[in-house]
Amino acid sequence: MPRLCSRKARIARPGKIRYTEAMSKCGYIALIGRPNSGKSTLLNRLIGQKIAIVSDKPQTTRRRILGVVNRGDAQMIFVDTPGIHKPGYRLNQIMMETVYEAVKDVDLLLHMVDASEPYGRGEQFVVDLVKQAGKPTLLLLNKADAVNKGRLLPEIEAYNERFEYREIIPVSALEGDNVEVLLERIAEHLPESDWIFPEDYFTDQQERFLASEIIREKVLAHTRREIPYSTAVVIEEFDESRREEEESFLRITASILVDKPNHKKIVIGRGGRMIKLIGTEARKELKRMLDVKSLYLDLNVKVEPGWRDRERLLDQMGVIGG
């Protein structure tokens, strides 16, 4: 049975679901928007810990990520989705299919916009998607703390003309500005329902997937701009046979996939310095996140031309059906 993450313990299995005497609220909320609008940063802020990797590179999120927040009698089930973009490879097509499915299946949409960026065709595509969905929608103007108020007010008025949002809320996912206000507003728009998940449950992401994402995050942070689009991480071994013993040891073997031989050279670096840096940072974060005293991380770099169109590899990465 897959391990489940919980607030009270690093790992927990489903417990009793909470029911209240008064009718509680519960619902699914999809975070949608253009790449780099700050959806994953906001999700981590809402959950209170990191469950989605963050990068300034577009298309960092490749699959649906679920996070649960409980406030009072409301259980809010957030669904982080890939950034909305024009698909090319099969990978990107699957990412966009994930967005369309999320929009169709949730109770509330959070349309997230980078308020520091000018309005363009890409954002108009998102607005059109919101209109077609026909779901209650809140507009979040992210990075509002970095935008002059004289510019922000006309932007709010312009979005009001484009679509009838339930509310428009300026926020800062990075700094946490207005996040508590946002949670209050979300709870008001959720349907009355018993809670779906146990009180200590906060994400559906398995540790194996989280490990691959942390490694990929470090690759994104340290390699050149042409690398991230053509890089993926596959976990070959996740051996926790000694995890319950006193030494709390975990062994992970992972392959970093690239499209071209020259990309492999970049990831490895001169004298292996780049791959060593990636491994050191990933190991440190994984030890803390997975709560183990000792972690052995073996990283290999493999050239897999055209991996973004190969469904077997995409399935192995958890992109398909994730």
Which of these, 226, 253, 225, 250, lies nearest to 240 by C-alpha position? 250
* For range 224-245, the mean pLDDT: 80
| Confidence tier at 5 by pLDDT (50, 70, 90) | very low
Q: Check residue 25 and give its pLDDT.
A: 96
pLDDT digits (tens, 9 = 90+) for 57-84: 777 888 889 999 999 999 999 999 988 8
104 is written with which tokens? 């169709």
- Asked if pLDDT for residue 18 goes beyond 60, the answer is no
- State the maximum Cα–Cα separation within the chain, in Å, rounded to a whole number: 64
What band does 319 get if pLDDT is binned at 50, 70 and 90? low
SS3 of the chain: CCCEEECCCCEECCCCCCCCCCCCEEEEEEEEECCCCCHHHHHHHHHCCCCCCCCCCCCCCCCCEEEEEEECCEEEEEEECCCCCCCCCHHHHHHHHHHHHHHHHCCEEEEEEECCCCCCHHHHHHHHHHHHHCCCEEEEEECHHHCCHHHHHHHHHHHHHHCCCCEEEECECCCCECHHHHHHHHHHHCCECCCCCCCCEEECCCHHHHHHHHHHHHHHHHCCCCCHHHCEEEEEEEECCCCCCCCCEEEEEEEEEECCHHHHHHHHCHHHHHHHHHHHHHHHHHHHHHCCCEEEEEEEEEECCCHHHCHHHHHHCCCCCC
230's tokens:
């053509």
What share of the chain in percent tops pLDDT 70?
A: 89
* pLDDT surpasses 50 at 10: no
pLDDT for 194-206, tens place per residue? 999 999 999 988 8
pLDDT at position 38 is 93
Cα–Cα–Cα angle for 183, 209, 212, rounded to 5 degrees: 115
Q: What is the pLDDT of residue 317?
A: 72
- pLDDT surpasses 80 at 244: no
pTM of the model: 0.84
Residue 95 has pLDDT above 80, yes or no: yes
Q: How far apart are CA 62 and CA 248, in angstroms?
A: 31
In this model, does residue 214 exceed pLDDT 80? yes
- pLDDT at 149 (0 to 100): 79
How many residues in the chain?
A: 322
Q: What is the pLDDT of residue 8?
A: 29
**How large is the average pLDDT for residues 93-114?**
92
For 19-53, the pLDDT digits (tens) are: 444 579 999 999 999 988 999 999 999 999 999 98
Mean pLDDT of 180-184: 96
How buried is 70 (Cβ within 10 angstroms: 0-12 exposed, 13-18 middle, 19+ buried)? buried
Residue 130 buriedness (CB in 10 A; 0-12 / 13-18 / 19+): buried
Residue 233 pLDDT > 50: yes
Using pLDDT thresholds of 50, 70 and 90, give the confidence band for residue 253.
very high
Burial class (CB in 10 A: 0-12, 13-18, 19+), 320: middle
- For 108-153, write each residue's pLDDT tens digit: 999 999 999 989 999 999 999 999 999 999 999 999 888 887 888 8
How far from 270 is each of 215, 239, 275, 297, CA to CA, in Å? 19, 30, 9, 20
Listed range (11-20, 89-98, 182-191, 302-311) with the worst mean pLDDT = 11-20
Q: In what order do the strands lie in the sheet with 201-203?
A: 11-12, 4-6, 201-203, 65-71, 74-80, 25-33, 108-114, 137-142, 167-170
Q: Is the pLDDT of residue 2 over 80?
A: no
- Model pLDDT, residue 88: 79
CB count within 10 Å of CB 235 equals 19
